[in-house]
Amino acid sequence: MPEQSARRAAVVEYQHVSKTYATARPRRGAPEAPGAVNDLSLTVPAGKICVLVGPSGCGKTTSLKMVNRLIEPTSGRILVDGADVAGRDATELRREIGYVIQQVGLFPHQTVGTNVAVVPRLLGWPAARQRARAEELLALVGLDPALYRDRYPAQLSGGERQRVGVARALAADPPLMLMDEPFGAVDPIVRERLQNELLRLQAELAKTILFVTHDIDEAIKMGDLIAIMQVGGHLEQFAPPAEILAAPASGFVADFVGADRGLKRLSLTRVGDVAIQPVVTAHDGDPAGDARARTFADPFPYLLLLDAADRPIGWVNQRQVPATGTLAASLATPMSPLLDRRTTLKDALSMMLDADVQTGIVVDRAGRLRGVLTVEAIAAVLRPGADPGGVVAGTPGADA
């Protein structure tokens, strides 16, 4: 029987945490050592993604590694669910915290399935339970266990190795995950897919995640909370992304976030948060005359052709819909990108611009039509005082 994610997420607290490094006596006014952390205090609620972001040398990775004691703080306390990590056995602590790094760190001589089951094996799980858990998690991260379980890391792409790393971090169902620039070593297209996959997993599993990046766009997309750090380990601002974009706490934060703060707001709103529009549809094999009449009666000059499972096949210009006979898939042109409710408006706009279209097709997890989203609707979100929400109009009964 597959493992069930029953462990709750953890609350993480930094209480006046500092890390200094022994160096020769510094000159007065000299800059602090790279990676130092200075009096860091913040609380990450259970089930949230907190992104630590800032320039190189700001102490974000140091802050992350102090949670699982790969680095020990000089002063202050780090609490996980109210317990000081300094009082825990370091090995046991690390087995209870998922850890994902940029270069993944898979064991090259072990199969994918064996890599995923590393922590369960160390915890003494029976072999059958280890195998079942590895297969469950490979499927969860989008890798078919039958195809990937017995492969070796060298046989995988960079994106596939990163997915295996995430699966391994989830193997013992930890309440807390640490992710240190997990997608920094892959190309932009794969990086976007991995980001979306992690957000999908988080919607299902609701883990507490501390996520390190140097990319403010990634921080805005991924984080429920963002901690912006300055060189020397000073916390400049700790707040939800919307608050940081609307009210930067300092000139450093404003400069780091960038002048296009308004456009970055599109990363905070997802397709599922805005009102999508219905569209005239017909199914492959339907009578063409009725579909033609309905298309010409609608202001939008295209018919969206669906298969028997309500999945989009493509668009048919109203002038190309036959007056008699039946509709065929060969009439359709698959032009618009497919969006799901987790897609950010920024990504949706980018996909539409890349495809040179004004409309994206919104589908549920099974690929069934829910409605369409237009560039005009996205632009409306950026207008002052705009409310992106509202009743979502889509295919009746569609399940996102």
pLDDT, one tens digit per residue, over 278-306 is: 999 999 999 999 999 999 999 999 999 99
pLDDT-above-70 percentage for the chain: 90
Helices 188-205 and 158-170 cross at an angle (nearest 10°) of: 20
The pLDDT value recorded for residue 393 is: 35
Q: What is the CATH code for 271-381?
A: 3.10.580.10
How many residues make up the chain in this entry?
Answer: 400
Look at residue 41 and tell me whether its pLDDT is greater than 70. yes
CATH of 12-96+174-265, one of 3.20.20.300, 3.30.70.330, 3.40.50.300, 3.30.930.10: 3.40.50.300
The residues with which 18 forms a beta bridge, in sequence order, are: 75
pLDDT at 265: 81
Residue 32 has pLDDT above 80, yes or no: no
- Distance, in Å, from the CA atom of 307 to the CA atom of 319, rounded to the nearest integer, reads 21
113, 134 contact by CB (below 8 A): yes
Predicted local confidence at residue 374, as pLDDT: 93
When pLDDT is averaged across residues 59-66 and rounded to a whole number, the result is 95
- Taking the C-alpha atoms of residue 400 and residue 150, their distance in angstroms, rounded to an integer, is 33
What confidence tens digit (pLDDT) does each residue in 223-256 have?
999 999 998 899 999 999 989 988 899 999 999 9
The mean of the pLDDT values for the chain is 87
Q: Stretch 265-274: mean pLDDT, rounded? A: 86
What pTM was computed for the model? 0.72
Domain ranges of the chain: 12-96+174-265, 271-381
pLDDT bracket for residue 207 (50, 70, 90):
very high
Specify the pLDDT at position 203: 87
Residue 266 has pLDDT above 70, yes or no: yes
pLDDT on residue 326: 94
Q: Where are the beta strands (DSSP E) in the chain?
A: 12-19, 37-44, 49-53, 75-80, 83-84, 97-101, 176-180, 208-213, 225-230, 234-239, 281-283, 302-306, 312-317, 338-339, 359-363, 369-374
pLDDT number for residue 304: 96
Per-residue pLDDT band for 381 (boundaries 50, 70, 90) equals: confident
- Judge whether residue 396 has pLDDT over 80: no
